[in-house]
A and B are shown apart, each in its own frame.
Chain A
Amino acid sequence: MFELLQQSLFSGLLVGSVYALVALGIALTFGAMKIINLAHGELVLLAAYMAYVIESRTGWNPYAAIPLAFAVTALVSIAIYLLIERIREHRELNSLILTFAIGVILTNAILLVFASDVRSTNSPLLQDAVSLGSVYAMNSELLAFVVSLLVMAGLWWWLRNSWYGRAVRAVSSNRDASMLMGIDPRRVELAAFIVAGILASVAGVALYTMSVVQPALGPALTVKAFVVTVLAGVGSIPGVFCAALLLGVTEAMTVTLASSALQELVGMVLFLLVLFFMPNGLFGARARRG
């Protein structure tokens, strides 16, 4: 039993690190604009398909696709921002429906271009097994974990030390005050969307290397990311990371201790419980219900 738990803890942590990468993008734009980008899952998926294009055309390692994936996701992300900007009334709810519509458009565009075949990496190097003591993983999963940590450290540094990063934080905590301080919130919000695009591109490529992608995957990714965001509470990168790992481990433990058919159920119940009873999330600093 101990061996089982050990492995599922480890597997859960690795899966969780990718949840974190996907969730950070949603958390960032939510922080900056109080807007949930329901098309974020499709952005990640788009990046995954770029990895497929590069790998199948050139035979390179999928990670080589990050620049291309980034270009594509950043452009789409900017387009999403510009559209959201044009919403005049009930911005919070209308943006939800608008980004949802963009998600539908992207899902079907991916279906039209790539058909419904399942895709994943072919690289033997990435698929090979690696063991750490008595626990096992694929190389790609370990790599994704490390990449995820690096990206998060980078994001953390950016938010702390760069002008834009600090401006994002200022706008997140008090939009009016930051405007008085001479920060143009539009520029800052745009920056947040571009960074969310970068995060999506890395997440998508990582996803392609360790899991299987198909066109219908987008909404599931978005929902998972939103669950993580709620568990985390608003306002901290380590919070998102911990919440994502917690979700990954909870899911893996459900499979080990109960049944794999219940994995999604437990995730959703956890989500609702935190939503109802811990309105600030498990790791959040500030209240989020207005």
Chain B
Amino acid sequence: MMRNLPAAALLVAALAIPLVFGGNGYIMGLMVSGLIVAGVALAWALLGNLGGMVSFGHAAFFGVGAYTSAILSAKAGLPVPLSLLAGALGAALCSLVMLPALRLSGPYFALAILAYAHIFKILATELSSITGGSAGFQRFPTLPTIAGIDFSSRTGSYALLVVMVALCALVYRAVKRSHVGTALRAMAESEDATRVVGVNATLLKSWMLLLSAFITGLFGAMNAHIINFLEPDYAFSGNWSVLPIIAAIFGGYRTILGPVAGAVLIYLFDQIIAKELLPVGHQILLGLLLAGMILVAPNGLFGLFQTRRKGAPHAAA
């Protein structure tokens, strides 16, 4: 029971926010943006925690998901719920070309993915007959109204995102607890040992990359229909790679809820507090926060929480 306490608290908070701030477009807007980052942070942490890989280029999946969904809904007339799914699939497909990068060790993998993000961004600029090029892509449908719920309204988008983040978190948890998750964790301990036991490390890592890309693409697609506008610089912006990293590290990338809570907290901190203190260059505070976390608490806020609990002799488990 105790174990689910943080999750329950987050759920209550998620329900309380629209009741308190529902009428305030500004706060709801920030929450929506924060949840988008939360989804990407979750996907990033999944790859980092289960796959053991740090990526500096999740913007690649985010942008591909966004463009795929926007283009399919505008030009092929696909209904938005389907185009969102197509966006996620598109991002997962794209991750296939990155499979060779899985053989690379830590920093090389991180920066190879960054190179992919650069390449996709340039392609989106150059393939202007499809993407509208650098002038951007503006006319595509917003999130629809289904069963009387207008998902394009702030509260509607918020509800959709809460559900999606929760679903992705559940999928993550299921994977983590499955045999695959056990194998992956064993692999993190010693790759050689698992190879002897007959676990195909590269194959498992590939699946994690695919899943991570799928989730990132999904959130990229949802964001596109919420903002209702795309351009290469925005869709493939380094921010989609960077903010999730900061969020996941801050919350604790080895936990499931850490990245989610981290993303929302970081985003609100940056936009409400940091921006007030330093109108220009407020990201310096994010940088300080990130550096501080790595040095003081590399396992993040939720990590601190967990270690303390584990440390207690014969805890509730």
Query: Do the two chains touch directly in the complex (Cβ atoms below 8 Å apart)?
Result: yes
- A residues with a Cβ closer than 8 A to B are 36, 83, 86-90, 92-94, 96-98, 100-105, 107-109, 111-112, 219, 223, 226-227, 230, 261-262, 264-265, 268-269, 271-272, 275-276, 288-290
**Complex: how many Å from CA A228 to CA B299?**
33
Which residues of the partner chain B approach A271 to less than 8 Å between Cβ atoms?
Answer: 112, 115
Q: Which of B14-22, B276-284, B308-316 contacts A (4 or more CB under 8 A)?
A: B276-284
A86 vs chain B, min Cβ distance (A): 5
A38 vs chain B, min Cβ distance (A): 9
Task: Indicate which residue in A102, A108, A264 contacts B281 across the interface (CB closer than 8 Å).
Answer: A108
Contact A101 B115 (CB under 8 A): no
Task: Indicate which residue in A36, A87, A104 contacts B290 across the interface (CB closer than 8 Å).
Answer: A104
- B residues with a Cβ closer than 8 A to A are 54, 56, 100-101, 103-108, 110-112, 114-116, 118-119, 122-123, 125-126, 238, 242, 245-246, 249, 278, 280-284, 286-288, 290-291, 294-295, 298
Which residues of the partner chain B approach A219 to less than 8 Å between Cβ atoms?
Answer: 238
Number of A-B contacts (CB under 8 A): 114
Task: Indicate which residue in A87, A104, A227, A268 contacts B295 across the interface (CB closer than 8 Å).
Answer: A87
18 contacts between A and B (CB under 8 A): A86-B295, A93-B110, A94-B294, A96-B54, A96-B107, A96-B110, A98-B291, A98-B294, A102-B291, A104-B286, A109-B281, A112-B284, A230-B111, A262-B122, A268-B115, A268-B122, A272-B119, A289-B104
Which residues of the partner chain A approach B280 to less than 8 Å between Cβ atoms?
Answer: 111-112
Which residues of the partner chain A approach B249 to less than 8 Å between Cβ atoms?
Answer: 97
Contact A92 B106 (CB under 8 A): yes
Contact B291 A105 (CB under 8 A): yes
A105 vs chain B, min Cβ distance (A): 4
**Complex: how many Å from CA A105 to CA B286?**
8
Contact A108 B287 (CB under 8 A): yes
Nearest residue (CB) in A for B248 is A97
Contact B106 A265 (CB under 8 A): no
**Complex: how many Å from CA A105 to CA B285?**
8
**SS of B interface (majority):** helix
**Complex: how many Å from CA A261 to CA B246?**
32
A214 vs chain B, min Cβ distance (A): 14
Which residues of the partner chain A approach B119 to less than 8 Å between Cβ atoms?
Answer: 265, 268-269, 272
Which residues of the partner chain A approach B122 to less than 8 Å between Cβ atoms?
Answer: 261-262, 264-265, 268
* With known contacts A265-B122, A271-B115, A104–B108 Cβ distance under 8 A: no
Contact A223 B114 (CB under 8 A): yes
**Complex: how many Å from CA A120 to CA B163?**
51
By Cβ-Cβ distance, the 7 closest A-B pairs, closest first, are A104-B287, A108-B284, A105-B287, A101-B290, A101-B291, A108-B281, A265-B122
Contact B281 A112 (CB under 8 A): yes
Nearest residue (CB) in B for A289 is B105
Which residues of the partner chain A approach B126 to less than 8 Å between Cβ atoms?
Answer: 261-262, 265
Nearest residue (CB) in B for A99 is B291
